[in-house]
Amino acid sequence: MNSVDLDKAKKYNKWVIILSVIIPLAVAALFGVNLRDLGFDVEPLTFLPPIYATINGLTALVLIIAVIAIKNKNRKLHERLMKFAIMLSVAFLVMYVAYHMTSDSTKFGGEGTIRYIYYFILVTHILLSIVIIPFVLITYVRAITNNIERHKKIAKITFPLWLYVAVTGVIVYLMISPYYI
């Protein structure tokens, strides 16, 4: 890596740290805010969960195709797909927060073993959705600063984590969807 790329990486690393802290804190803060409880006359955005679950599924598919593309040495397609996966994740996040700011949380109604399975999947999904933020950002920064060897190294960790978050997002939706009002 040349000195220009190194300077770029240092600049980006500050943003990685800032975004890795701000995004989860903002989501947590906004998750607890219901605009209707604050007196705003907004309709609950109850149509969003199947949309953002679909976005999670599409993200998983895009990630898999992106890995296939790079294994086939199609770097341009890989780059475009990874940017698209990031855009999908941002779209998911915006819709997820909008839904929770306008709608009451849905309680899982399953009982017995399925309840434990649901909460295990939900908790690991939530925790890894926080952990994945710096991984995605660092992986992306290493790619755009042409630090390809280090990009490959962290991508081997980022990919399965991000794929798990995307797939479990769909599973959580499918498990809780019968309990939506």
We report the CATH number of the domain holding residue 79 as: 1.20.120
User: In the chain, how long is the greatest CA-to-CA distance?
Assistant: 58
Give the pLDDT mean for 103-128. 95
Give the pLDDT mean for 64-68. 98
Give the pLDDT mean for 74-85. 98
Q: What percent of the chain has pLDDT over 70?
A: 96
- Nearest-10 Cα torsion for 26, 34, 99, 118: 80
Range of the domain at 35: 3-179
Cα–Cα distance, 166 to 59 (Å, whole number): 6
Amino acid 104: pLDDT = 86
Contact status, residue 162 vs residue 135, Cβ threshold 8 Å: yes
**Measured distance between the N- and C-terminal CA atoms of the chain, rounded to whole angstroms:** 54
What value, to the nearest 5°, has the Cα angle with vertex 71 and ends 153 and 138? 30
The mean of the pLDDT values for the chain is 93
Report the domain count for the chain: 1
Confidence category of residue 13, pLDDT binned at 50, 70, 90: confident
Angle of helix 48-71 relative to helix 148-176, nearest 10 degrees? 150
